[in-house]
């Protein structure tokens, strides 16, 4: 075993409500277009045949409350509020019941997006990495265990920028349920403890600028907050 020639920045550990130990971030899978109204505002239709995914690097994740700079390479940086599912046990090609048993908990998250780059990549049928996987591009609030929060139903999901409402929907609008996503995704990956699934954003995404304060919530879960430092 060789020793590393330099140290890498530590990947954040997400606090868990009421627990002393936190949730270490493994991989981050994101579901695209999982609310019909968001797909429509992006000028596309939901694919009802199968969900689709993109990934974000754990090394680029930050915790709720972070203050970060407006990212480079974009003139149209967008907020996307999401429900995140935290996996607590191995999961491979499973039934919906087994999928449910592997969920450790849930939380609020932001999928920050360089929209101009995502859309130009999409137009050229290229991957969305420059648009989606950026430093501080995913933001995680403290998690709540599944036992404490209960099942996904019609909880409200919302987001404000500088206290002005931007996104407001319910989890009943999810096109693919959490169980359906886990069954499908675990047919392609051996999901394991530490993996996070960001389940897509409702309608109302929009731009943010330096100096903005973003806050999002889901009924019964801890809010997620991000500030963009003034230039
Ligand atoms: C079309 C998107 O913005 C993909 C995405 O991040 C989402 O639907 O959520």
Structural domain contains residue 8: no
What spacing in Å lies between the alpha carbon of 129 and ligand 1's midpoint? 12
Encode pLDDT of 181-204 as tens digits.
999 999 999 999 999 999 999 999
CA distance 70 to 230: 8
Structural domain contains residue 86: yes
Structural domain contains residue 5: no
Q: What is the CATH number of the domain that holds 78?
A: 3.90.850.10
Structural domain contains residue 7: no
- At residue 14, the pLDDT reads 98
CA distance 230 to 11: 25
The ligand 1 atom at the shortest distance from the C-alpha of residue 198 is 9
Count of domains forming the chain? 1
- At residue 48, the pLDDT reads 83
Q: Which domain holds residue 34?
A: 13-228
Encode pLDDT of 52-104 as tens digits.
999 999 999 999 999 999 999 999 999 999 999 999 999 998 888 889 999 99
The complex scores an ipTM of 0.93
pTM > 0.90: yes
Q: Residues lining ligand 1, CB < 6 A?
A: 30, 32-34, 38, 42, 80, 111, 200-201
Which residue, by CA, sits nearest to atom 1 of ligand 1?
A: 33
Structural domain contains residue 6: no
CA distance 43 to 39: 6
CA distance 76 to 214: 15
């Amino acid at each position: 075993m060789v020793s590393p020639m330099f140290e890498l920045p530590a990947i954040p550990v997400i606090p868990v409500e009421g627990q002393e130990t936190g949730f270490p971030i493994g991989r981050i899978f994101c579901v695209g277009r999982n609310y019909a109204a968001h797909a429509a505002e992006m000028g596309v239709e939901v694919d009802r045949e199968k969900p689709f995914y993109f990934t974000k690097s754990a090394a680029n994740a930050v915790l709720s409350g972070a203050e970060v700079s407006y990212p480079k390479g974009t003139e149209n940086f967008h907020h996307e509020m999401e429900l995140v599912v935290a996996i607590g046990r191995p999961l491979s090609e499973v039934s919906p019941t087994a999928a449910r048993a592997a969920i450790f908990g849930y939380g609020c998250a932001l999928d920050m997006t360089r929209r101009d780059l995502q859309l130009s990549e999409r137009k050229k049928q290229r991957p969305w990495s420059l648009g989606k996987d950026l430093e501080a591009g995913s933001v995680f609030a403290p998690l709540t265990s599944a036992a404490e929060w209960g099942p996904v139903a019609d909880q409200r999901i919302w987001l404000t920028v500088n206290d002005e409402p931007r996104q407001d929907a319910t989890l009943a609008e999810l096109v693919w349920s959490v169980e359906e996503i886990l069954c499908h995704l675990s047919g392609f990956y051996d999901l394991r403890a530490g993996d996070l699934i960001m389940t897509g954003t409702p309608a109302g995404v929009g731009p943010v600028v330096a100096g903005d304060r973003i806050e999002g919530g889901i009924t019964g879960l801890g809010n997620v907050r991000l500030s963009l430092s003034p230039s």
